[in-house]
A = this chain, B = another copy of it.
Amino acid sequence: MRSTIIHSIVSALLVFCVVSHGPAGSIEAPVSDATQECLTCHSTATPAIVEDWKKSRHSVVTPLQALGRPELHRRVSASNISNHLSGYVVGCAECHTLNVENHKDTLVHNEKKTHLTVTPRDCSTCHPAEAEQYEKNLMAFAHVNLVGNSVYSQMMHSINGSVTFDDRKTTISAPDEKTQAESCLACHGTKLQVTGVKKRETDYGEMEFVEMSGYPNQGVGRLNPDDSKGSCSSCHGRHQFSIQMARKPYTCSQCHKGPDVPAYKIYSVSKHGAMFSSMEKEWNFNNVPWVAGKDFTAPTCATCHVSLVTDPEGKIVSKRTHQMADRLPWRIFGLIYSHAHPKSPDTTIIKNKDGVQLPTSLDGQPAAGFLISKQEQDLRKDTMQAVCLTCHSQGWVKGHWDRFQNTLQTTDSSVLTATRILFRAWDEKLAGKDDLFDEAIEKQWTEQWLFFANSTRIASAMMGNDYGVFDNGRWYMNKNLQDMLDRLFFLRSAKKSDR
Cβ contact within 8 Å between A470 and B259: yes
Cβ contact within 8 Å between B245 and A279: yes
Give A298's nearest chain B residue, CB to CB.
B237
Is the C-beta of A3 less than 8 angstroms from some C-beta in chain B?
Answer: no
Our pick among B50, B313, B450, B478 for the contact of A47 (Cβ within 8 Å) is: B313
Cβ contact within 8 Å between A170 and B47: no
A248 and B260 in contact (CB under 8 A), knowing A47-B313, A292-B48, A478-B172? no
Residues on B with C-beta less than 8 A from A254 are 269-271, 274, 466
Residues on B with C-beta less than 8 A from A451 are 470
Q: How far is the CA of A250 from the CA of B249 in the complex (A)?
A: 15
Q: How far is the CA of A465 from the CA of B389 in the complex (A)?
A: 36
**Which residues from 195 to 226 on chain A have a C-beta closer than 8 Å to any C-beta of chain B?**
200, 209-212, 215-216, 218
Q: How far is the CA of A237 from the CA of B270 in the complex (A)?
A: 11
Cβ contact within 8 Å between B292 and A51: yes
Interface string of A62-79 (1 = CB under 8 A from B): 000000000000000000
Interface size on A, residues (CB 8 A): 132
Residues on B with C-beta less than 8 A from A273 are 250
Cβ contact within 8 Å between B410 and A162: yes
Q: How far is the CB of A131 from chain B (nearest CB, A)?
A: 21
Residues on B with C-beta less than 8 A from A212 are 395
Cβ contact within 8 Å between A396 and B215: yes
Q: How far is the CA of A178 from the CA of B411 in the complex (A)?
A: 13
Interface centre among A52, A389, A492 (most CB of B within 10 A): A52
Cβ contact within 8 Å between B216 and A400: yes
Q: How far is the CB of A450 from chain B (nearest CB, A)?
A: 8
Give A161's nearest chain B residue, CB to CB.
B478
Q: How far is the CB of A157 from chain B (nearest CB, A)?
A: 10
Is the C-beta of A38 less than 8 angstroms from some C-beta in chain B?
Answer: no
Q: List 29 A-B contacts (CB under 8 A).
A: A46-B389, A48-B293, A49-B390, A51-B312, A162-B410, A163-B417, A163-B478, A163-B481, A165-B421, A170-B481, A178-B402, A178-B403, A182-B459, A182-B460, A186-B465, A186-B469, A215-B396, A216-B396, A237-B274, A237-B275, A237-B278, A240-B297, A250-B274, A251-B274, A253-B269, A260-B470, A281-B281, A440-B485, A486-B491
